[in-house]
Structures are given as structure tokens and as C-alpha cells.
Amino acid sequence: MKASQARSLVVIVVACFVLLGLCPAQAPAEPELEEPAALAEAEEAALAAPAVEGTAPAAYRIRRGDTLSISVLGAPEYSGSHSVRADGTILFSDDMVGAVEVAGKTATEATETLSRQIGEYVRNPTVILTISRFRVMVIGDVRRPGEYEMSSGSRLLDAVNQAGGVQDEERDLAAVYLTKADGSERRYNLRDYRRLGEADQNPLLEPGDRVSVARAVSRARDRGEYKVSGAVKKPGRYWLKDDDDTRLSDAIEEAGRWTDDGNPRSARLVRADGSETVVDLTALDANPRSERNAILQAGDELIVPRNCTEVNILGGVKEPGQYMVPAGTTLLELITTAGGLKDNAILDGCAVVRSDPPVRIPADLKRLFQHGDMSQNPVLEHRDVVFVPERPPQTGGGSRTSIIQSITDNAWRYLWLYRYIF
């Protein structure tokens, strides 16, 4: 027994030495000292280049009317939802960043542009851009073909329902084609989705998607399509006739003719090669076979403009900026559209600056409000700029200080106004 105990004791002692010898190899002190330095180096490298993220199909290019959700990590003042305006820009409330051109860019390109401009005021910004609202074209055997606004999370059936549903559920819902921004196309069976709950038959929609019910829209078929857009009752894509020429009068009838705010006398026919012709659609009814009733070709687009006027309003209103307003809009109507006057607005110093020809039209809002003088409420014209002066904040330094403060506060507006006109 004693010999056995002695052997056991020797084994235990040897094992202890082995364990003690292995411990430094498992947890060396040197790497522990190097790890913080490696982390600091990685962090410095990450800060050297701003992160650029964009979530949208790579082939999709941002359009006017899209809504972008923008997050700038660590800078919430630049984060929020922004609609792409008629001039193709989004406008930050920050006077320094201002307008950023995004229309026509991919999500990645727009994110890089935002990163550069915001990077002038935020160190190494991380910008995340998503297209939260976009328009999807729905054509085919639906009750109201046209373009419809969709949001993140909308699915194929939502687009079909927005277009009024289908004519024949048994036939039409079984063949719904979804064309992606890159031109790829797939057929879905929404009838099976409704009956059997097959979720893969009702996919999520993405910017740039196009839906066609009961007919394919592959590139081979695209060669026989034309488009009608603008102020028409049923904007969308239509097929050229197989048995006869398709003329301008046929196209406008297919699209339900123009809406009440449309301007058919100034319609534009944009050919597939990029050339444009101004067309008076009202003159085509009298003689459908005249030369002015042009024959359409694949890829052509007929655009009916709206009777809208582009104006800008600056200064003492609650929501200054650029507006697209109906033709005939007056100064007072524009002020109402811009949220009304601020408390510090100077009523008798308002002016309308017209660029063609250059002229300044004074407008005394005090006389308009107190005496009903309608001569102080002019009808606005295209590209007019309205300026409503503001009283500067009280500084306690007398009238000279107030004048200097007023010039300082409004200098950027005067510079912008000069640049806009000249």
C-alpha cells in the first residue's frame, strides 16, 4: 500500500509540473498587451473613411416624388424623412447643407453625395439611406392602370388592389408578372396566395418594380409599348395596335383624356431617340388623320403638363421654400400655403421679384388686410420670388444695432435671391 501511495504521489507531482508548464502557453501576457493597440488601430482606420450604406435595388435611380429615410449616426439633426422635390433635390433645414441633388442617382451614389456634403459639418458621418416611399407602374387587366405610391413593406397584391383589382380573378390573378429595375421578370400566382396562403407568391415590392396583370412585360414585349404620363386620368404604359397605326389621339383616349388641371395645348411628344415636339391635343379631334396626329412608335412618351407655377417665398413665413402652385395663385394664397406669416413679419415691406422681365413689385400686406386693397395681392407668375421681411430680435442697442443685426440675419437671403435671378 505504501509503495502504491508513493507512486500516486509521484504522478500527482508530475501532473502539477505539467499543468504549471502549460499555463503560460494558454494565456501569454504579450498578446494581452497588444490587443488594445490593435483595437485602437482598427478604430482609427474605421474613422478614416465614412461608412456608406444604401438600401435599394442597385439598378434603381431615385425619382422626383420618392421619399428617402436618412439616418446619420451620431447626428440626429440630419436624420429624418425627405421627399425628393420637383427640382430633384432634398432640402435639409440646416442652412449650410441646404439642397442636395439626388434625383437620377442610385441609392449608393446618393448616399456618397450626402456623406460628402454632410461631411463638411460632421466628422466622418455614417449615412444610411433607404427609399421608404416610391411609385410602381401597374398595367394590364386591372381596372385603373397607372402609377401608384407604395411604401416599404408593400407587396405585389397591394399594388394590384391599388389599381382597382382585376377584371377576372380566376384568370388574371393566376398570371401576374413582376419586372425588376434590372429588367428581370418573374410570374406570380396571386390566386394561389389567396387560396393556399403561399407567401412566396406575394413578394415585397421594391423601387423600380413594374407590375403587369395577365400579360408579360419582358424586353421583347417592351418594343411594342408607349407611355402616357402627366395630367391624364389613367397614366401608364400601353401597347401599340397590332392591326393599325396608333396615333396621338388613340393614346390620349386610352389614357382617359386629360384632367381638369391639365394643359392639353402644350402636350409634349418625346420620341424614343430623345427628340421632342409640342402638340395641341385639342386640335386633333377635328381631323384625326391630319399630319399633326402623329403615329406613335415603340418607346415614345406623350406628356400632358399640369397648369402649375413654380414660385419661391422667403423671409417671414413659417415654411419658406419652393412651391409648385396652380396657375392663377395669388400672393395671399401662397402665404397661406407656406404656413402663414410669422409674428415678426413686416407687413408693409413685402415684395414680389419677377425675373422676366426683371422687376420688383411692392405689396403692402397691411393695406391688404386692413383696407381690403386687392391691388396689393398680385397674381404670381412662373419663377416669381416673394420676400417677406422680418423684424430682427430685440438687442437693446438702439436702432443702429437693429439695422446691422437685420442685415446680418438676412444676408444669405439677399445673396440667394441675387443668384436665383442672375
- Please give the full DSSP string across 312-358, using - where no structure is assigned: EEEESBSS-EEEEEETT-BHHHHHHHTT-B-TTB-GGGEEEEEETTE
Cis, bond preceding 358 (omega within 30 deg of 0): no
CA 194, 198, 201, 206 torsion: positive or negative?
Answer: positive
Task: Summarize the confidence of residues 336-350 as an average pLDDT.
Answer: 91
pLDDT-derived band at 307 (thresholds 50, 70, 90) equals confident
Give residue-wise pLDDT tens across range 11-49: 454 454 444 444 444 444 333 333 344 334 434 443 444
> Among 3.10.560.10, 3.30.565.60, 1.10.287.70, 3.20.10.10, what is the CATH number of 308-421?
3.10.560.10
Residue 219, pLDDT > 60, answer no
pLDDT-derived band at 299 (thresholds 50, 70, 90) equals confident
The pTM of the full predicted model, rounded to 2 decimals, is 0.41
> Among 3.20.20.220, 3.40.50.10710, 3.30.1950.10, 3.30.830.10, what is the CATH number of 52-133?
3.30.1950.10
Give residue-wise pLDDT tens across range 223-232: 578 899 888 9
Q: Which residues in 6-125 belong to E strands, given as ranges?
A: 52-55, 67-72, 80-83, 89-91, 99-101
The overall average pLDDT reported for the chain is: 77
Q: Is 262 within 8 Å of 280 (Cβ atoms)? A: no
Q: Looking at this protein, which amino acid is placed at residue 256? A: G
Residue 353, pLDDT > 80, answer yes
CA dihedral 321, 322, 328, 333 (to 10 degrees): -20
**Domain 135-220: which topology?**
Outer membrane lipoprotein wza fold like (3.10.560)
pLDDT-derived band at 53 (thresholds 50, 70, 90) equals very low
First to last CA, the chain: 110
Q: Which of 9-18, 117-126, 274-283, 296-305 has the lowest mean pLDDT?
A: 9-18
Contacts of 413 (CB under 8 A, 6+ apart): 314, 315, 387
Domain limits, the chain: 52-133, 135-220, 245-304, 308-421
pLDDT-derived band at 216 (thresholds 50, 70, 90) equals low
Residue 123's pLDDT is 85
Residue 156, pLDDT > 90, answer yes
Residue 107 in 3-state DSSP?
helix
Intrachain domains 135-220 and 308-421 with the same fold? yes
Q: Looking at this protein, which amino acid is placed at residue 363? A: A
Q: Which of 67-76, 87-96, 406-415 has the lowest mean pLDDT?
A: 406-415
